[in-house]
Amino acid sequence: MLDDRKLEVLRAIVEDYVSTNEPVGSKALVDRHNLGVSSATIRNDMAVLEEQGYIAQPHTSAGRIPTDKGYRLFVDRLSTVKPLSSAERRAIETFLNGAYDLDDVVGRTVRLLAQLTRQVAVVQYPSLTRSSVRHVELVPVASRRLLLVLITNTGRVEQRVIETYGEVSEESIGHLRALLNTCLDGCGLGEVPVAVADLPEKVAADDRPLAAAVLSVLLETLVEKHDEKIVFAGAANLAAVDFSRSLRDVLEALEEQVVLMRLLGETGDSSSLTVRIGTENPDEGLRSTSVVAADYGVGDQTLARLGVLGPTRMDYPSTMGAVRAVARYVGQILAGS
């Protein structure tokens, strides 16, 4: 167990290395930080930190840099996450409030995160399985074709074309539309099959083929894998970073949707804000990066996750503050949509 002074030395090394991208020596620590001890004492503390794997010496006669273990201890011992300024909070709120649908919310969010953190931003679309029905619409688009529109409480819109195999009256369509909305308003999507099980019995015999066709497409829509929709932005921010592994490996990993899902899906634990550092990442191509991710949702309901990916040499307090704040605002926008 490290004492308070060695923890302060580690904190100072992390902060200086993040700021300068240069190995940190004992003299620099004494000059830049009010540690209250001599250079010799700092050197002894650095020797202990190195022996225990929290810092490393990249070159002979050079200063020290944090290891993944050192960053992990630094993050775990953070007493505060750097709050955003009032101007930053107003800018986030104004930018996200201008969104007009879910795609726009997600697009604005991913661009905003990339700009705020200067990292790669990753946003997962709200899961259909965690959403509920707000409205179902049936729109005639041809003599034997309908458009089914499913709108969720998160603003997500799913559209499917239905072949009716026969002429259908406006009255039949209107009656079925009303029945669907009566049955499904506020219904969790996982509960839809049970909610509509006896719906065909509530329509006239001549309209049952229509009801069966609509319900078949509706239920197919719900079982499709919608949780895999993830977007990212800010890959150009990686160009300014020196990675211990090649930048190509990082970019190739980001192109894989399954990798992005794993980054967000496996970061969660009992806390909504999580950090995965370096070798803690499951993908080999991302072992020189860190991921900061947070849940977002409506009220107590978690809908999905968002976060950023960047070098292990990142400003963790500021990045964690930005990710947490944006997640909170996205939840507020969806709650009011």
Please tell me the predicted confidence (pLDDT) of residue 67.
96
Q: In terms of pLDDT, which residue wins out, 127 or 88? A: 88
- CATH number for 86-127+227-335: choose from 3.90.1150.10, 3.30.450.40, 3.40.50.1000, 3.40.1360.10: 3.30.450.40
Please tell me the predicted confidence (pLDDT) of residue 227.
53
The CATH topology of domain 4-76 is Arc Repressor Mutant, subunit A (1.10.10)
Please tell me the predicted confidence (pLDDT) of residue 276.
92
In CATH, the number for domain 129-223 is: 3.30.390.60
Q: Looking at the chain, which residues constitute the CATH 1.10.10.10 domain(s)?
A: 4-76
Please tell me the predicted confidence (pLDDT) of residue 85.
86
250-306 tens-digit pLDDT = 888 888 777 777 777 655 444 578 999 999 988 888 888 999 999 998 777 788 899
Q: Is the CB of residue 233 less than 8 Å from the CB of residue 120?
A: yes
Percent of the chain surpassing pLDDT 70: 95
pLDDT, mean of residues 189-206: 87
Range scoring the smallest mean pLDDT among 62-66, 266-270, 302-306, 316-320: 266-270
Q: Looking at the chain, which residues constitute the CATH 3.30.450.40 domain(s)?
A: 86-127+227-335
Please tell me the predicted confidence (pLDDT) of residue 270.
43
Please tell me the predicted confidence (pLDDT) of residue 148.
93
DSSP secondary structure, 91-159, as one string: HHHHHHHT--SHHHHHHHHHHHHHHHHSSEEEEEPPPGGG-BEEEEEEEEEETTEEEEEEEETTS-EEE
148 token code pair: 């089914």
Q: Is the dihedral of CA 260, 261, 263, 264 positive or negative?
A: positive
Is pLDDT above 90 for 309? yes
Q: Looking at the chain, which residues constitute the CATH 3.30.390.60 domain(s)?
A: 129-223
Range scoring the smallest mean pLDDT among 28-37, 135-144, 158-167, 223-232: 223-232
Is pLDDT above 80 for 60? no
